[in-house]
Structure 1
Amino acid sequence: MHDTDYDVLAIGDAVVDVIAPTDDALLAEEGLRKGSMRVLDRDGAERLYERMGPAQEMSGGSAANSMAGIAALGGRAAFVGQIGSDQLGTIFAHDIRAQGVAFDTPALDGDVTTGRCLILVTPDAQRTMNTYRGASEHLSVDAIDPAQVAKAAILYLEAYLWDHDAPRVAMKKAADMAHDASRPVAFTLSDIACIGRHRPDFVELVGSGRIDILFGNEDEARALARHDDLDDAIAALAGHVDLCVITRGADGAIAVGRGERVAVPAVPPRALVDTTGAGDLFAAGFLAGHAWGRPLEASLALGAAAAAEVIADYGARPLGQLRHLAAD
């Protein structure tokens, strides 16, 4: 769109991934199930961090990963997420800006620390994740700039933030700002556990007209719609939004809306190294294509291609430019 500064503006968790190799003994001592994800409080996060070996630290967060993907595709992306005035906050801000994403959210002063996901990687390549959201829990309406929302072709919201009152209010307000500016609002269901905690809220949100584009995987779609049959679930959800976009892993993806139903196959990756970030990069490709006015099938195909690229490397963000995918 010619009257926009950004293709997509996202609001989500500002989290730094702290990744370190470990052995099975540490998992046993911590009472962790290999491959699981647990939520930590601040004390628990600090204690586990002290037990970790030398680590690789990189910016993460689902919607932030998607914005990094859009920038790598050659798009214009912006992100709003709360960080603290600490070392991890500095790392997050540097990384996301270095990847070409506009990020202007001021850090919070005081005794507030930036969110982090402590990832323990065992010799069998299994990842066991431990998340402390930290400053993300304090994202407020004051962090949302109505002019920035109005200058984005699409506003993208992340369900992980729904656990806390302040960011939940901020996201609803941002959605209203977008609609006041005649901009569509996209929402990702993020994780089936989020639906377990907030299904009535999500049903109300989708039914309220605040959401125009709904993202989820097939399990999330079934859980939200309460239909075992995927087609029935998609039909139920699509009745409340302009576009319903459902990923199916190795079976590709489906988009339903505006009288169309389009499916694309998954793109075989050049290597299967790490599936972290596949859904985030799929959303990046689809949102970029949609913001650029591409047909549904082309937007789905770009999402599938971006997902295939990120799972071929280590980490949840692209390691290089993806502009060649957008040019295909």
Structure 2
Amino acid sequence: MRIAVTGSIATDHLATFPGRFADQLMPDQLDRVSLSFLVDDLEVQHGGVGANIAFGLGVLGLTPYLVGAVGTDFDTYRIWLKEHGVNTDQVLVTDMAQTARFMCTTDLDQNQIASFYAGAMAEAATIDLARVAERAGGLDLVLVSPNAPDAMLRHTEQCRELGLPFAADPSQQLARLTRTEARQLVTGARWLFTNAYEAELLRELTGWDREEILSRVGAWITTRSTEGVIVEAVGDTPRAFPAVPPSAIVDPTGVGDAFRAGFLAGTSWGLPDHVAIALGCAVATRALETMGSQQYTAPPADLLARIAETYGAPVAALLAPHLERRL
């Protein structure tokens, strides 16, 4: 299955605050917040939602096409992605700005405060999906993940024009979208990905209730942190799947991206949704146990053991031939 992942490509600057953000917020002063947190450490890692998802697909043995815009400082990052199975030939390199930066601080409760500098990502809308599809010999799926809003809108519209199946993952960019834009990004998606907070924000932003959103997508997949995943579709009872328990919680950055990679890998192998969900949750837990969004590995034996324990041996048996093929 030929998958193109459109989205941000960035460098992550990750810090840990040894306290709780909530303890520093004064309810009667929220209109004039001015805070500075002394952090214990700083990790500089490869990141960006599009690159994170492509990395996860590559780790699972696929060769996704990464589609995004970067600066001339991308050379080392490009090598890293290629070493992990990602095709970077469709990445646009511009000298207009540096590659995007994600700056995030995480507290003891795994709450995060972050900011994102778009940089070269602002050029992503100039990328033509028709040319990407031609160079790839056709595409079976396009994932439209957080990117410059005009790029997300253009690539979604191009998917409709070209008849390319697409998945919508607006997530962090919902706050930047108008009602019309949010509706455009959702309508016609084979899969819609959100977390629980984004699901509520999407309903408010679009002005559509749950049923109206479901009528416009194939399936709506909502991740809920430790509570697992909910899958909803028109005419079906919502299905709930538990999370795979972690051995340790190290860093939540990129966990949702890892889930998407695992889910899309499972569906690319022609497996049922519930099996793809199980793989997504297992890969997400591997990411949660690792600092940085592209430092985890996906050993088949470990994934299969976790999946069997959480979802049952029959689910693991369906995944085994595909995961073990990578050995």
Instruction: Tell me if both proteins adopt one fold, taking TM over 0.5 as the criterion.
Output: yes
Greater Cα offset, 263-272 or 314-323: 314-323
Instruction: Note if 1:304 corresponds to 2:288.
Output: no
CA contact (8 A) 1:160 1:190 kept: no
Select the residue among 63, 66, 81 that pairs with 1:79: 66
1:16 Cα shift? 1.1
Q: Deviations over 1:270-322 (max 9, x none)?
A: 21111111111111111111121111111111111111111011111242234
2:47 corresponding residue in structure 1: 60
Going from structure 1 to structure 2, the CA distance change for 1:126 and 1:248 (only over 3 Å counts) comes to closer
Structure 2 Cα separation of the partners of residues 322 and 133 of structure 1: 33
1:58 Cα shift? 2.5
Going from structure 1 to structure 2, the CA distance change for 1:151 and 1:321 (only over 3 Å counts) comes to farther
CA contact (8 A) 1:12 1:160 kept: yes
Structure 2 Cα separation of the partners of residues 22 and 251 of structure 1: 24
Select the residue among 151, 160, 183 that pairs with 1:176: 160
1:315 corresponding residue in structure 2: 292
Instruction: Note if 1:185 corresponds to 2:169.
Output: no
Q: Deviations over 1:135-183 (max 9, x none)?
A: 0011134453132566332210113421xx3x2454135423652xxx4
CA contact (8 A) 1:253 1:263 kept: yes
Which 5+ residue runs of structure 2 have no aligned equivalent?
Answer: 25-32, 304-318
Matches within 5 A, 1:160-171: 160-162=147-149, 165=150, 167-171=151-155
| Identity within the alignment, % | 27
Instruction: Note if 1:194 corresponds to 2:168.
Output: no
1:14 corresponding residue in structure 2: 9
Which 5+ residue runs of structure 1 have no aligned equivalent?
Answer: 36-51
CA contact (8 A) 1:13 1:82 kept: yes
2:310 corresponding residue in structure 1: none
1:94 corresponding residue in structure 2: 79
TM-score (normalised: structure 2): 0.75
Q: Deviations over 1:210-233 (max 9, x none)?
A: x22111112222222239xxxx95
Q: RMSD over aligned Cα, in angstroms?
A: 3.4
Instruction: Note if 1:116 corresponds to 2:101.
Output: yes
Instruction: Note if 1:223 corresponds to 2:201.
Output: yes
Structure 1 Cα separation of the partners of residues 137 and 194 of structure 2: 25
Q: Deviations over 1:112-138 (max 9, x none)?
A: 221112345789987653321100011
TM-score (normalised: structure 1): 0.75
2:291 counterpart SS class: coil
Select the residue among 79, 89, 93 that pairs with 1:107: 93
Structure 2 Cα separation of the partners of residues 58 and 80 of structure 1: 19
1:319 counterpart SS class: coil
